[in-house]
Amino acid sequence: MKKTYQITEDGRKELEAELESLKGRRGEIADKIAEARDYGDLSENAEYDSAREEQGLVETRIAEIEDILVNAEIIKVKKSSKVHVGSTVEIKNDKTVKYTIVGPVEADPMNGKISNESPLGVALMDKEVGDKVTLTTPKGDITYMVVSVN
């Protein structure tokens, strides 16, 4: 069964840019491998091992991004009074923070993007301005109030 990935249009563009960048590195990595091969004995050649490992990581990420793009469901951002995937929601407890709810592929909490599958994302789904959500954390319960939904 194929997995469908929910991503926003911006997320699709970011993935396509990353894919292009990674594909552009293929030649550079091939040159590193060829250069390291010229050093001789491959059994004890750290440069060769490092270049091959880098090649493996790049090729794995390329395959992963291609799979995501082929199986992507683009989230249409729509205006709603309720939180849904694609919404930007402002929540408040001691301080006010703003998050955009995205699919797991795009999640980047440090940049204000949380997954709809994360505990906070799940708690926020279908909430409206004024609603409260409570999360249980190792440090105890934290309650947030929804301040705005865009």
User: What's the confidence (pLDDT) of residue 96?
Assistant: 95
- Give the predicted TM-score (pTM) of the model: 0.75
Confidence of residue 15 (pLDDT cuts 50, 70, 90): very high
Strand partners, 143: 134
101-133 tens-digit pLDDT: 999 999 999 999 999 999 999 999 999 999 999
9: its two tokens: 């249009």
55-98 tens-digit pLDDT: 999 999 999 999 999 999 998 877 889 999 999 999 999 999 99
Q: What is the DSSP letter of 29?
A: H
